[in-house]
Structure 1
Amino acid sequence: MKITCSKQQLTEAVSNVQRAVSTKSSIPALEGILLKAHGQEVTLCGYDLELGMTTTIEASVEEPGNLVLSARLFGDIVRRLPGEQVCIASDEKNITAITCGLSEFSIVGIPAEEYPEIPSITGETTIDLPHSMLKSMIRQTIFAVADTDAKPIHTGTLFELGGGTLRLVSVDGYRLAIREEPVQANEEASFVVPGKTLNEVTKLLSDSEEETLSLVVGRRHILFKIGNYTVISRLLEGEFLDYKAAIPAASSTEVLVNTRSFIESVERVSLLITDRLKSPVRCLFEDNEIKLSCSTSMGRANDQFEAQITGSNVEIGFNNRYLLDALRNAEGDEVKVQLNGPLSPMKLLPREGNAFLFLVLPVRLKSDS
């Protein structure tokens, strides 16, 4: 194989594809990036048996061929090269020369035959979405994905497509996040995408409403086509929580609150909470005011701010991090908070409409003695 390509394009491609490469694997080839040179382009692949990422860049191909290079070493070399054009040439023993300007490296490659085949997908369902929409939907639900494997299905986000609506649902046992948007799709589908995959997908998405991506959903895998990148991931299997049953049907207290005021107040009283000194944030909703307090062995904090409260007074406790995650991911200057007593989950909604719904489970408060 012998190719010449732009250092800038190669650096960007390697940096992105490298994120799908296995850092430790019993198959040495999986710790590398597969390069396939043909025609006037070179394709780069990273794959860790669960997530695969592929992209193609322009190249002058003198000798076509395939080769696997250590992702860590190749990435470090490419990022530090001094010139604008990179030449990569390998011999029959896979000894690879990387030349750029006056710098030259010679590294040992791995035969491409040792690289596992990335799964192909037959598209049963295809959806086209604007970049900005999917990016916003993932951002508003990924925080509630479980980070432990107690129930592996909950380490992913449920995608529900039907009735011209796409709904994303994440749950981790302490909170729930739902986000929905109207889409131009008649298909019906339900599948769970790993949180790790969605984190990588958002890094490739822009904030553009004009640019679109395609989701191709098969029986066991999903394919994201984003610009000149293709991300393939296995889907999670298992029974997802019946989230509709977890949403409280009634509420005895409704609060309209300034999102920024609520966040800042929680942040202030949380200054006494550390990983070692955990304590709930106590929230008292009464007389159009929210009074927050927190007490640990370091001391006590009290804070309060105004809000529009209708219904019963309620005192309820929350884990400060879970409460902050929900508030920070609520879009809009004001949010609607619905409560149904001190032991029922808090429901967080937009001021108008139902674009998102967050649930945060309360923490049982010890009565002040």
Structure 2
Amino acid sequence: MKLVCSQAELNTALQLVSRAVASRPTHPVLANVLLTADAGTDRLSLTGFDLSLGIQTALTASVESSGAITLPARLLGEIVARLSSDSPITLATDEAGEQVELKSSSGSYQMRGMSADDFPELPLVESGKAVKVNARALLTALRGTLFASSSDEAKQLLTGVHLHFDGKAMEAAATDGHRLAVLSLADALAVETTVSSEMDDEGENFSVTLPSRSLREVERLIAGWRGDDQVSLFCDKGQVVFLAADQVVTSRTLDGTYPNYRQLIPDGFARSFDVDRRAFIAALERIAVLADQHNNVVKVSGDNTSELLQISADAQDVGSGSESLSAEFTGDAVQIAFNVRYVLDGLKVMDSDRIVLRCNAPTTPAIISPKDDDIGFTYLVMPVQIRS
């Protein structure tokens, strides 16, 4: 194998695929990235795969002879990152195909690799369900839900995001048991959901729950795109493949039945606050300085006698504070307490200038949503019970 490629492009590709390289590999080859050069297409493909998450990308290269080898991801990445971006990189293997030499204008480096035959193949989904998703819609859905997924591995199913496809619509949902983010998009799919021949021609809706770690990589990929490419999603036998342009992300699915989150959302509300989103965030962040000293709890209250939203925190043995915000309030007087971090997380993914906080009682779920919601975003937060 022998080729010449851009330092900048190779560095970017290595940083990308290295995110799927195991930090504690169960086999030595899983600490490596797979490099595959094709003289027919003049492309260099790079793959990282930890048996759960796989990332593959490709870049243009001048390939003199085809071949494949795996190299230590961390070592290769650090060397390439430090080479001059003004000089192309020549990469060549020896006759035995076990050692690689990297040449740049500044010098040359030799690295010992492992056979490409030892590297596990990325799972391919050739049947099952397939959809083409609008990239921007998928990015919006992931940004609006990923933050609410659980980090507790004991709650395996809740460490992911639940995606539901129906016709041209897509709904994403994530919960950690304390809050729930749901985002519905009516026109997310480029065409009606298509399925394999074993399904009926009209297609049908389907759902899949994917690990947040995998979806964060999908989000990162899409965020870096300049165009409006579509993302092809293939799902079959516990495996999902995201495919777009020269990039592939594979992920296992999370097994089990995702909670029926829709039944958690109240049908109606007796009280509501209509408030400026940025002002609300700023006030909460100031109060959070005190709330973080104790238990992260802030109290939110309002009544019909004044057009003010009161926010307060009491950190025992440290101090207390309060803020007042202009707000439109409906319903009877109420005081409800929240984990300030949960509220801030939800507010920061919204784009609306104004938000509406709705609740029924201090002990029942509250809903925060954009006032002018054109994408169907609902954020549910469970209140914190406080003693008088």
Q: Give the TM interval when normalised to the shorter protein.
A: over 0.9
Task: Tell me what 1:294 maps to.
Answer: 313
Which residue, 265, 272, 280 being the options, matches 2:290?
272
Q: Give the TM-score, by structure 2 length.
A: 0.90
* Distance 1:263-1:150 versus aligned 2 partners, 3 A rule: same
Task: Tell me what 1:6 maps to.
Answer: 6
Indicate whether 1:284 and 2:301 are aligned.
yes
Indicate whether 1:214 and 2:221 are aligned.
no
Q: Give CA deviations for 1:218-237 in whole Å, capped at 9, x if unaligned.
A: 23111112331111111111
Amino acid at match of 1:28: P
Task: Tell me what 2:340 maps to.
Answer: 320
Matched residue of 1:205: which SS? Answer: helix
**In 2: Cα distance, 1:79 partner to 1:208 partner:** 24
- Count of residue pairs the alignment pairs up: 366
Task: Tell me what 1:90 maps to.
Answer: 93
Amino acid at match of 1:303: E
Task: Tell me what 2:324 maps to.
Answer: 304
Q: Give the TM-score, by structure 1 length.
A: 0.95
Task: Tell me what 1:103 maps to.
Answer: 107
Which residue, 197, 201, 204 being the options, matches 2:214?
197
Which residue, 42, 52, 62 being the options, matches 2:44?
42
User: 1:255–1:336: 8 Å Cα contact kept in structure 2?
Assistant: yes
**In 2: Cα distance, 1:8 partner to 1:218 partner:** 36
> Relative to structure 2, which stretch is displaced further, 45-54 or 132-141?
132-141
**In 1: Cα distance, 2:272 partner to 2:227 partner:** 34
- Name structure 1 gaps, 5 residues minimum: none
The sequence identity of aligned pairs, in percent, is: 30
* Distance 1:66-1:209 versus aligned 2 partners, 3 A rule: closer
Indicate whether 1:176 and 2:174 are aligned.
no
Query: Offset at 1:250?
Result: 2.4
Amino acid at match of 2:44: V
Q: Give CA deviations for 1:229-284 in whole Å, capped at 9, x if unaligned.
A: 1111111111211101111222111221111111111111111133x622410111
User: 2:291–2:298: 8 Å Cα contact kept in structure 1?
Assistant: no
**In 1: Cα distance, 2:28 partner to 2:228 partner:** 41
Query: Offset at 1:93?
Result: 5.3
Which residue, 192, 217, 221 being the options, matches 1:185?
192
Amino acid at match of 1:168: A
Which residue, 352, 377, 384 being the options, matches 1:356?
377
User: 2:69–2:97: 8 Å Cα contact kept in structure 1?
Assistant: no
- Name structure 2 gaps, 5 residues minimum: 194-203
Query: Offset at 1:352?
Result: 3.5
Indicate whether 1:255 and 2:273 are aligned.
yes
* Distance 1:168-1:327 versus aligned 2 partners, 3 A rule: same
**In 1: Cα distance, 2:275 partner to 2:127 partner:** 44
Task: Tell me what 2:166 maps to.
Answer: 162
* Distance 1:113-1:209 versus aligned 2 partners, 3 A rule: closer
**In 2: Cα distance, 1:139 partner to 1:335 partner:** 18
**In 1: Cα distance, 2:265 partner to 2:311 partner:** 25
Amino acid at match of 2:314: S
Q: Give CA deviations for 1:81-121 in whole Å, capped at 9, x if unaligned.
A: 12421111112151211111131001111111211121111
**In 2: Cα distance, 1:194 partner to 1:241 partner:** 15
Query: Offset at 1:209?
Result: 6.9
Amino acid at match of 1:338: R
State the superposition RMSD in angstroms. Answer: 1.6
Q: Give CA deviations for 1:329-364 in whole Å, capped at 9, x if unaligned.
A: 222001121101000111012213461000011000
Task: Tell me what 1:233 maps to.
Answer: 251
Matched residue of 2:153: which SS? Answer: coil
User: 2:131–2:232: 8 Å Cα contact kept in structure 1?
Assistant: yes
Task: Tell me what 1:74 maps to.
Answer: 76
